[in-house]
Amino acid sequence: MTTATTLSSAPPSTTLPLATVRGLRVAYGDRPLVLDGVDLDLFPGELVALLGASGSGKSTLMKALTGFAPVNEGSVRVAGYDLTNLRHGQLRGLRASVGQVFQQFNLVGRLSVLTNVLTGALHDAGPVNLVGGFSAAHRRRALELLDRVGIAHKANEQARSLSGGQQQRVAIARALMQQPRIVLADEPVASLDPKMSHAVLDLLHDIARQDGIPVLVSLHVLPLALEHSDRIVGLRHGEMLVSAPTRELDAEKLDVLYADVDGHDDRFDEEGDHRGAALA
Amino acid sequence: MALLSPETTPDGTTGTAGSPETARRGRPAERPQLDPRERERLERAFSVPRARFLLGVPVAAILLVWSFVGAEFDFAKLGEGAANMGEFLSRMFPPTWDKLDVIVELLVETLQMAIVGTVLGAVLSLIVAFGAASNIAPRWLYYPTRWVMNVIRSLPDLVFALMFVSAVGLGPFAGILAMTVGSIGSIGKVFAEAMEAVDDGPVTAMQAVGSSRRQVVQYGVLPQAGPMLVSDTLLLFEGNVRGATILGMVGAGGIGLELTTAMKMYDYGHLSAIVICIIVLVTVIDQASAVIRRKIT
């Protein structure tokens, strides 16, 4: 489907990709294909923006990378795991090595900020945590991560008492607590105001560069993608139409992603929540 | 060149996508439209009720009348009975407090029964609820657990009390067992529903960090359901305090036996004192749990 030319200019470096997707097709049950032949590589240190209108398959692609969506056809390799051929017990290992950030933050509101960050280490917490204990080393690292995202002073407060931007920072710290090899952020700024959106994307970009891990961020606001990403991948109706370094792209070239999409254009919709609008 | 225009898309299907300008203008003709008749109906301030509503009202009325007749509900009898009721109540005053020490002793026993029954019941219910919450339990466990809970719920606690009195003899122990088993049916279901009602987001996040099923429950489900679980447990406790007075009537401990005995002996002053003490205890507990509920939610 999507040709090799799409990928030819993709690699920003000579290192091996940490995620490789080839010819991915995804359908839920008998419904039409949500993803139709997607090829994608994610390289260390880059922030890749994933663009597309509502229902274009952005979220499904994210889910397919972590085993939350089925892989009907094609191959998906993430952090050394082959998702089409996962052995028993490997799914947890895969998920532990992929940090995820969500649109609605998905923090446990009644738990403290620190505990929320600590849950990122659950995969290597011993049986001691049956009673809720995390090791001192884990706690130290969680606090360092809170320092890094700038809200260590809120460590002891309930997560639900924080503002949206602060909650998203906690969620990013939780993802980093996993010591991830890749970070996936599905519409991480869709619930935030523009100023906070820039701050969160700056943070994610810093993480990509400083930690040398790929960060894949789905966005629906073009200017944010053009400003903050190293590379842009664009989907329309489940097909990959764009994959190029951001410096080679502009809003006009990305128009193709939003043509013929339910006669609706939400590119500049800053606060849209389109979960219900997808796949009409 | 990495950018593919619609015209160059290899499968050719998107070549007819049209210019971006067309897309931006939108195509109202292709959008799903509201049925004009439905629109007219929705715009009317006072609309004619739908047929199913017009049918439903007489069906409900017939059902209600049928039930009144079947249950022998009689307003005339209620009027006659009111006089007897007044006489019964007048006999209850003044209360006699000469056996207050017995009442207090039995009330304390009732309270102890309720505490033990609630704690055991809540712990067992929590365990059972894990199996009855559809977002936690696997299918093979979910359905049998729900079925067992339904069976338990369909039996009154008094039946369990009689069963346990015959098994372990008269006394509060039988009452505690009856309360414990009874609560699995009632509060177990409520617990399970509290766990099912938690926000899915944090649960997904816990799965996404690679947690085990147990960790997802511990960090994703229980912290969210916690206030509801505590509130439901308090409700169970209030119910058990009242329930313990009834269980006593079949000899399963508590103040119930003293209450029925006083009735049978026409010892109205004593009966009155017992009832007043029960009301005081239940009110105090209700108030205390209201305070706790406010604190946790």
- Architecture per CATH, domain A1-9+16-97+180-280, reads as 3-Layer(aba) Sandwich (3.40)
pLDDT tens digits, B109-166 = 889 989 999 999 999 999 999 999 998 899 999 999 999 999 999 998 888 888 998 9
Residue in A closest to B11 by C-alpha = A1
Using CB atoms, pick whichever of B17, B23, B208 lies closest to residue A100: B208
Nearest CA of chain A to the CA of B35: how many Å? Answer: 18
Is the same domain home to B86 and B113?
no
Instruction: Tell me, yes or no, whether B60 and B181 share the same domain.
Output: no
Same-domain check for residues B62 and B168: no
Residue B185: half-sphere exposure toward Cβ, Cα within 13 Å = 15
CA–CA dist B211, A122 (Å, integer): 6
Taking the Cβ of residue B12 and every Cβ of chain A, the question of whether any pair is shorter than 8 Å is answered with no
Separation of alpha carbons A40 and A18, rounded Å: 11
Number of structural domains chain B divides into: 2
ipTM: 0.82
CATH of the domain at B166: 1.10.3720.10
Closest-CA residue to A5 (of A243, A254, A229, A238): A243
Contact of B10 with chain A, judged by CB distance below 8 Å, is answered with: yes
Q: Which two tokens stand for residue B170?
A: 């008269």
Whether pLDDT at B20 is above 60 = no
Mean pLDDT of B68-97: 86
Q: Which of A93, A111, A259 lies closest to B223 in CB terms?
A: A111
Asked if the structure places residue B30 within a domain, the reply is no
Specify the 3-state DSSP secondary structure of B266. Answer: coil
Same domain assignment for residues B207 and B82? no
A277–B contact, CB cutoff 8 A = no
The rounded distance, in Å, linking the Cα atoms of B20 and A255 is 6
CA distance A93 to chain B (A): 6
Contact A224, A278 (CB under 8 A): no
Distance from CA of B120 to the nearest CA of A (A): 20
Task: Please check whether residues B63 and B130 belong to one and the same domain.
Answer: no
Closest to B2 (Cβ–Cβ): which among A237, A244, A263? Answer: A244
Neighboring chain A residues of B17 at a CB cutoff of 8 Å: 256, 259-260
Number of inter-chain CB pairs under 8 A, A vs B: 143
Q: How far apart are CA A53 and CA B222, in angstroms?
A: 36
Q: Do A256 and B5 touch (CB under 8 A)?
A: yes
**Range 68-87 of A in CB contact (< 8 A) with B:** 68
B208 interface with A at CB cutoff 8 Å: yes
Q: Which residues of chain A have pLDDT under 50?
A: 1-12, 264-280
- Segment among A119-128, B62-71, B81-90 with least mean pLDDT: A119-128
Verify that B123 and B266 share a domain, yes or no.
Answer: yes
Q: Name the least confident of B18-32, B192-206, B240-254.
A: B18-32
CB contact under 8 A, A259 and B11: no
In a domain, B16, yes or no: no
Instruction: Mark whether B62 and B142 lie in a shared domain.
Output: no
Task: Give the percent of chain B with pLDDT over 90.
Answer: 41
- Predicted confidence at residue B128, as pLDDT, reads 93
Closest C-alpha to A95, from A86, A104, A103: A86
**pLDDT, position A163:** 92
- Domain membership of residue B107 (yes or no) is yes
Q: How far apart are the CA of A258 and the nearest CA of chain B, in angstroms?
A: 7
Q: Are residues B151 and B64 in the same domain?
A: no
B296 contact residues in A (CB cutoff 8 A): none
B contacts of A8 (beta carbons < 8 Å): 2
> Which structural domain range is residue B53 located in?
47-91
The residue among B57, B91, B125 that closes a domain is B91
Q: What pLDDT shows up at residue A75?
A: 92
Q: Which residues of A touch B3 (CB under 8 A)?
A: 241-242, 244, 248-249, 253, 256
Does A174 contact chain B (CB < 8 Å)? Answer: yes
Residues A15-50 as b/e (b if ≥16 CB within 10 A, e otherwise) read: eebbbebbebbbbeeeeebbbbbbbbbbbbbbbbbb
Q: With contact defined as beta carbons under 8 Å apart, do A90 and A147 qualify? A: no
Asked if A122 and B211 come within 8 Å (Cβ–Cβ), the reply is: yes
Chain B residue numbers touching A2 (CB-CB < 8 A): 4, 10
pLDDT of residue A267: 45
A273 touches chain B (CB under 8 A): no
Q: Count Cα neighbours of B16 within 13 Å in the Cβ-side half-sphere.
A: 1
The answer to whether residue B15 is domain-embedded is no
Is residue B2 situated within a structural domain?
no
Section B71-86 average pLDDT: 86
Total Cβ atoms within 10 A of residue B168: 13
My answer on whether B263 and B148 are in the same domain is yes
Calculate the average pLDDT of chain B. 84
- Give residue B206's pLDDT: 93
Total number of residues shown for chain A: 280
Nearest residue to A168 via CA among A135, A148, A192, A140: A192
* pLDDT given at position B158: 85
| Angstrom distance (rounded) from CA A107 to CA A86 | 28
Residues of chain A with CATH 3.40.50.300: 1-9+16-97+180-280
Residues B170 and B257 occupy one common structural domain = yes
In a domain, B206, yes or no: yes
Same domain, B132 and B204: yes
B22 lies in some domain: no
Query: Does residue B211 lie in a domain region?
Result: yes
